[in-house]
Structure formats: structure tokens, C-alpha cells
Amino acid sequence: MKTITLNVSEPVYADFQRYAQEQDRPTSELLREAMESYRQAKIRPARSLRDQQPSSVGAVLQPWTGRGDLLDDLLDKA
């Protein structure tokens, strides 16, 4: 783990200290948790398939004639 120096305002740090005492946890643990939450939300957000743009994978090799055919292909029932 990397040790860092962080400058925060007195009121912000006091809030973290007070909450840490209420939760019986170290203040540093809460700060690490807050940083990880920020990282997941802003720096490396999880992406949904809905966010992805469609892309071409080439020409159709065989026309799709219905759901049953697809299910048979998936279950390897020819």
C-alpha cells in the first residue's frame, strides 16, 4: 500500500473522524473507502453493454429462420 500526504479542510477531516469513531473504524480506512468509491464512479466506471456502440462483424453467413434454429445451434442439436 502506498503512503500519501493529503491536505483536507479541518471540517471535512473532523466529519470523517467523528464518523469513524461512530463506526468503530480507523479514519484512514474511511478515506481509502471514499477514494475507492470515487475511483469506481469517476475514473474507472463500470460499463454496461447498453453503453457500447454496435459494430460490424462481417456478412451474414446463414439467414436466421427462427428462435428454434438458434436454440438448436446453441444446444448443438443439428
In tens, the pLDDT along 21-75 reads 999 999 999 999 999 999 999 998 888 888 888 888 888 887 766 666 667 777 7
Name all domains of the chain by residue range, CATH numbers in brackets.
1-45 (1.10.1220)
- CA gap 23, 40 in Å, rounded: 23
For 2-8, the CB contacts below 8 A with 24+ separation are: 6/31
Helix axes 10-23, 27-38, angle to 10 degrees: 110
Q: Which triple of cell numbers denotes residue 11? A: 471540517
Give the pLDDT score at 77: 61
pTM above 0.85, yes or no: no
Q: Which triple of cell numbers denotes residue 62? A: 446463414
Which residue is it, cell 475511483?
39
